[in-house]
Amino acid sequence: MARILRQIIALCIIVAAVGWYLTAPVLRPTAAMEKLTADAGHGEVIFWASGCASCHMAAGAKGADQLVLSGGQAFPTAFGTFIAPNISPDPKAGIGAWSLADFVHAVQDGVRPDGTHEYPAMPYVAYAKMAPQDLVDLRAYLATLPAAATPSAPHRVSFPFSIRRALGLWKLMFGGTGYVLRGDLAPEVLRGRYIAEAMAHCGECHTPRNPLGGLQTAKWLGGAAIDDGKSKVPNITPGKLDWSADEIYAYLTTGFTPAFDAVGGAMAHVVENMGHLPESDVRAVVAYLKAVPPVK
């Protein structure tokens, strides 16, 4: 009996050790990125394309206040309510004291400076596809924005989702950095794919998720339920969205549908963000949306 007990204990130790190893944060090397020259002007374009203000500004902020990234907006999900943190240049409340490596690990690896996993409410799976130069430029632009001393509020997440270490397994299952749309793509579609799948992270809202919160890429951009249980993010694949390229472009830049309905909700922020991009980039997103497989 004692021998069996020792074997069980040994097995538990081995399982725990393997689990601890598999859930450990994985950090990409940043030495090459640290040699790049930052362009804050280009970083502003990356800022709008990536939708940073949409989540990290204060709730209801308008005009110049949208550039005060004090955080505080609440995002309810089936796993808890996540509160956007302060990412302003404030050295205490924000990210002003972060190194470039801290910034890259948070944005692309989903790992905080203290070494713990971030929740995927931060779309680091999408941002992981971003080019190093764009990350360097984005950080340079963020440093030019107003500092806010508002402390970040804690997420409201209950057990077992409060165990951040377990997110290491989630990343192993759903944290791949490959693109969904593949094949021999035209340069315009490739640019649109980079904007839509990496920076603008369109799939985070428009793609349904499995019970563990992973994106169901087989139904990419095929529409998803909103956590209020009353509404749905629409299917924007060619099988459902039968608008012309010009109609999609007009919607993304003006907020009006072909039937002259006005955009609302979170999509209003997307339209505003698109308004800061070059026309060629918005046209590239349109070309991408026309190229993705239809989801019925």
For residue range 147-163, list pLDDT tens digits in order.
Answer: 999 999 999 998 888 88
For residue range 237-267, list pLDDT tens digits in order.
Answer: 998 778 999 999 999 998 888 887 878 777 8
Spell out the CATH class of 187-291.
mainly alpha
The pLDDT assigned to 130 comes to: 96
For residue range 169-205, list pLDDT tens digits in order.
Answer: 899 888 877 899 999 999 999 999 999 999 999 999 9
Distance CA(80)–CA(58), nearest Å, equals 20
Domain-wise residue ranges, the chain: 26-174, 187-291
The rounded mean pLDDT for the chain is 89
Dihedral of alpha carbons 128, 232, 86, 270, sign: positive
Mean pLDDT, rounded, for 35-46: 96
Q: What is the DSSP letter of 26?
A: -
Does the structure show a pLDDT above 70 at 284?
yes
Does the structure show a pLDDT above 70 at 6?
no
For residue range 19-34, list pLDDT tens digits in order.
Answer: 556 677 878 999 999 9
Contact by Cβ (8 Å): 108, 83: no
**DSSP conformation letters of 212-260:** TS-B-GGGTTS-EE-TTSS-EEPP-STTT----HHHHHHHHHH-B-TT-
Provide the 3-class DSSP secondary structure of residue 111: strand
